[in-house]
Amino acid sequence: MKEWLGLSAAELGRRIGTQEIDPIDLVRCYLDAIEAHPFRDRIYARVTHDRAMAEAAAASRRAKAGLRLSPLDGVPISWKDLFDSAGVATEAGTPYFQGRVPSQDAAVLAHATGMGLVCLGKTHMTEIAFSGLGLNPNTATPPCVNDHDAVAGGSSSGAATSVAFGLAAAAVGSDTGGSVRVPAAWNDLVGLKTTHGLLPLTGVVPLCKTFDTVGPLCRTVEDAVLMLAALGGPKVDLQGASVCGRRFAVLTTIAGEDLRDGPASAFGEAAQKLREAGAEIVEIGFEPMRRAFQLAGGLYTADAYAYWRDIIEADPSKMYHQILTRIRPGGQVLAADYIAGWAELESIRRDWAQATAGFDAVVLPTTPILPPNAARLETDGDYFVAENLLALRNTRVGNLMGGCSLTLPTGVPSCGLSVNMGPGQDGHLLRLGAAVEKVLVQ
């Protein structure tokens, strides 16, 4: 049964469908693995044993009756601790929400439950989701699967590690500036940043409502496709996907600058594999991207501070000082500057769409750095700030440009390749991502 922990969510679903695996046995296997794992309390904030077993029993009955609700009916997954769960604390990684117990599930959790997915529990995260590193001295800091002394990436840190360490078949996180893709890349997973608005945010503790998105972290693109459908997104057919004849742009402006040796080498090798498979790779510059990054600080912090201001200022000492320092400048952003900033960003998005119109996708190194050391991040403030900005730099391209983005493992530990498309192209992105995945794993 232990071998089940290394299978993809899709494969587990198929074996449940053939009755080779009973969901009750599968969920019990995962719960036992969680309880026995040395990093259990650094990955899971809360494990929902009773809910998981009840949902597994229902899935078992459906499987035996031939009445399964979806390809993932009976498959156990984890949820980042900002998705409301009825009767179970949802604390968003912050002391401000300690003991906060919602009365109903978030919309995406309710939809996934309706598709038969089993909720294993809630995973740790960066405080209020406002960092790409995954460090959280107030709750817990999950370790990177490739270096236990390093951070796992954030803010969906526990989501990624629950899958990477074999403690969930897949996970659900959120992505505002890279919070699905950074931890997915650093833990050798597939991570999908959906188009803003594709999946509902009802019942999701917000960071920046204008940028927040919901997305899965999984072992394969097939898993991401099935998870997206289970969350209420579109169904995607992956058959026949190929990179042959496809044109990929490589953004050199910002995203290609100052890459550390590991990510740079991994990206170069991945790009060469795509060329050998028949794809065309073209480097492009886009100088307006620099202005978009200049606008980002005000747009993000103003949005975040608008929601969190009263909660934080009632007792600022509760918040981890690095997060507090990052969010408070949002209170100084003028309304006129915020509105004008969004108007300018929308103009840059239109120019970006025109500049990339001749390409099937834009590919980037998911992050320009490898996972930093957790202890140093806690003790060296300048190091924290510098590494956090770098961790989120390349992923933020997708958020600022309003598109969808998929990170894939390159085969080099903690080095991902991101495939980016425009808004609303999530289905096309996953099809192309499946083709890229085949090339990279050869």
Residue 442 confidence (pLDDT) above 80: no
Contact 82, 125 (CB under 8 A): yes
- Please give the pLDDT value at position 322: 98
Kindly report, residue by residue over 261-300, the tens digit of the pLDDT: 999 999 999 999 999 999 999 999 999 999 999 999 999 9
Number of alpha carbons in the 13 Å side-chain half-sphere of residue 32: 10
Please give the order of strands across the beta sheet that includes 190-193: 44-47, 118-123, 76-80, 171-175, 213-218, 190-193, 404-409, 416-421, 361-365, 247-251, 280-284
Beta strand spans in 225-353 (E): 247-251, 280-284
Kindly report, residue by residue over 377-402, the tens digit of the pLDDT: 999 999 999 999 999 999 999 999 99
Mean pLDDT over all residues of the chain?
98
Residue 200 confidence (pLDDT) above 80: yes
Helices (H), 116-176: 157-164
Q: Which are the contacts of 39, defined by CB distance < 8 A and separation ≥ 6?
A: 142, 143, 148, 161, 165
User: According to CATH, where is 3.90.1300.10 located in the chain?
Assistant: 2-230, 247-289+334-440
- Please give the pLDDT value at position 418: 98
Give, in order, the Cα–Cα distances in Å from 367 to each of 147, 167, 390. 16, 25, 7
Which of 78, 85, 157, 179 is catalytic? The answer is 179
Check if CATH label 2.60.40.10 holds for domain 2-230: no
Please state whether the peptide bond connecting residue 155 to the residue before it is cis, i.e. omega within 30 degrees of 0. yes
Kindly report, residue by residue over 312-344, the tens digit of the pLDDT: 999 999 999 999 999 999 999 999 999 999 999
> Can you tell me the mean pLDDT for 175-203?
98
pTM of the model: 0.98
Residue 216 confidence (pLDDT) above 90: yes
> Can you tell me the mean pLDDT for 219-229?
98
Residue 1 confidence (pLDDT) above 90: no
Residue 189 confidence (pLDDT) above 80: yes
Active site residue 85: no
CA distance 214 to 223: 15
Active site residue 155: yes
> Can you tell me the mean pLDDT for 89-115?
98
Active site residue 157: no
Give, in order, the Cα–Cα distances in Å from 160 to each of 4, 140, 192, 370, 435. 18, 14, 12, 15, 23
CATH fold for the domain made of 247-289+334-440: Amidase signature (AS) enzymes (3.90.1300)
Beta strand spans in 246-336 (E): 247-251, 280-284
Residue 162 confidence (pLDDT) above 80: yes
Which of 155, 157, 174, 418 is catalytic? The answer is 155
- Please give the pLDDT value at position 441: 87
- Please give the pLDDT value at position 2: 82
